[in-house]
Chain A
């Protein structure tokens, strides 16, 4: 047992939590403005305002208002929603598994969604073009994600309830299975399909439009409203499952509910924006270092921070090599991985064990 009691500083959390939440509330509109103004064409505040007014149905249309209304605004809002959903479901997953290094992909949802998308791309073949094609791929991804999670959950069920440890192992197994079936599909796919699959996998917000934003708004909004209701239960579950039961938490019902919301949220995110790595892992981790593991503030703070991070990453993806774009999933991974490694190496300093 490591005993470093004498040296560790006291923590005054409630004041710090308020400051961090306030900062995030201010940061989000700033990130949104940055996302709207940057890109191949730089726009100033006046252009953005005119664009927003035009989008709402007033003012004159010009190049700037079209860029804002038709391209950047839906993309930024979609990015913010997806980031918020990925980060808050990540926080919930880490609490559920009592492991600060867990991530929604552990329960198979990302792998299943990838397989679903690949399947849609390969089976639809040449017919897959334009709007209908994209919706088909998204639908495939969403269903694939949900089905894999259902499978993982079934595998982890036994007479005495659902074991999160078994769920983790079942998640690894099902992820591997989905991966190999995906490889099999790719092996038989044409060059064109291969490219589509691999691009889709890298994740991107470039397909953003209002119908998709509407879907993201409904699903994401539901997830973001539902997760905070599990905060007190998640707090108790960090003590251990039997301890949570002794505190009056119906642990199996909570697990089931959380798994469903995580699967729906991540499934929808992957369906709309591809796989975006590390937001669900890194954001809750950073936020927990700042404000501690109390899910009543952790979940909203993660939603805000995830939205900011994805907006910034997408802005970078659009601007570093403008006019061409990088897939945003590549950018989040490129930022996230080194950051995560540095966290791993220093986690003892933050009281993580």
Chain B
């Protein structure tokens, strides 16, 4: 297994002339879960867009599996990498099954494999009961879980690609507590099977509980990178988020607990 799946060196992005991201340095190994945190407008989604190829790199270097990002074709990337955007504009009455199966578009693995992946990802997102309902008639949280099932389906099988990267923009934004837990555990399970996961999060306690690494952005610059334990300090919250918090230790787990 390779040691670095994704690597950014002095990466900058300026899609509209103004620099949105400057000097980002990051190494991600297979099996790692990275959380991107930061105040509103700090560049979290811009970083995700840079990672997924929606905005080009303007300076620096970005390697995916030791190959420069420009060497990857659209199709190769789609086999290796799945992206959950913050919002979906789907307004055609697909059934839930049909939406999830769209995640298999880049793979030519045949319908029986696709059906197995469908069943597993519906399970992983608690959407089995919705499988024949119309996507357009679901609630916000249900839609979010269906979209998650779709991106899980795209990178579900290790044998479909040389490496796997899952990019999620606020995956738990519309979810209730039990589904937040379920989705995070499903993402962690994909990581334990060799995929790397990057997610934009707003909830520090979720980040502390489920990520290996956290990257804190402020005005497009990388302010901190490390485990939640290392970087979740009162000073960091004061400087970056301009808020006074208490950082305790979780009563049951050896992780920080952020209390406002």
Task: Give residues in A with beta carbon < 8 Å to B.
Answer: 1-5, 8, 10-13, 98, 100, 232, 235-236, 238-240, 242-243, 245-250, 288, 292-294, 350-353
Contacts and interface: CB of A to CB of B under 8 A. Distances in A.
Contacts of A243: 83, 85, 88
26 contacts: A1-B139, A5-B133, A5-B139, A10-B133, A11-B132, A98-B89, A232-B105, A235-B102, A236-B102, A238-B90, A240-B89, A242-B83, A243-B83, A245-B53, A246-B52, A246-B78, A247-B78, A248-B75, A248-B79, A249-B74, A288-B93, A292-B95, A292-B98, A293-B93, A351-B134, A352-B93
B210 interface: no
Contacts of A288: 92-93
A8 B130 CA distance: 10
Contacts of A10: 132-133
Contacts of B134: 8, 11, 351
A261 B256 CA distance: 59
Interface in B121-165: 132-140, 142, 154
Contacts of A100: 92
Contacts of A4: 137
Given A8-B137, A243-B88, A238 B74 contact: no
A248 B140 contact: no
Given A248-B79, A293-B92, A351-B93, A239 B137 contact: no
Contact of A3 (B81, B133, B139): B139
A242 B93 CA distance: 19
B65 interface: no
A interface majority secondary structure: loop
Contact of B132 (A2, A12, A294, A351): A12
B178 interface: no
Contacts, number: 102
A292 B93 contact: yes
A248 B91 contact: no
Q: Which 4 A-B pairs have the closest CB atoms?
A: A248-B78, A351-B93, A248-B106, A10-B132
A250 B74 contact: yes
A177 B90 CA distance: 32
A324 B132 CA distance: 50
A250 B75 CA distance: 8
A2 B52 CA distance: 31
A4 B154 CA distance: 29
Contacts of B94: 238, 292-294
Interface of B: 52-54, 74-75, 77-79, 81-83, 85, 88-95, 98-99, 102-103, 105-106, 132-140, 142, 154
Contacts of A240: 85, 88-90
Contacts of A236: 102, 105
A332 B197 CA distance: 53
A98 B91 contact: yes
A12 to B, nearest CB: 6
A247 B139 contact: no
Contacts of B83: 242-243, 246
A13 B106 contact: no
Nearest to A236: B105
Contact of B98 (A242, A294, A351, A352): A294
A243 B90 CA distance: 10
Contacts of A3: 139-140
Nearest to A2: B137
Given A8-B133, A10-B133, A246-B81, A1 B140 contact: yes
A248 B132 contact: no
Given A2-B137, A239-B89, 20 more contacts: A11-B95, A11-B132, A11-B133, A13-B132, A235-B105, A238-B90, A238-B92, A240-B88, A240-B89, A243-B85, A243-B88, A245-B54, A246-B52, A246-B77, A247-B154, A292-B93, A294-B98, A351-B135, A352-B92, A353-B91
Contacts of A351: 93, 134-137
Nearest to B154: A247
B248 to A, nearest CB: 36
Contacts of A12: 132
Contacts of B140: 1, 3
Nearest to A241: B89
Given A247-B105, A351-B137, A239 B95 contact: no
Contacts of A5: 133, 137-139, 142
Contacts of B81: 246
Contacts of B133: 5, 8, 10-11
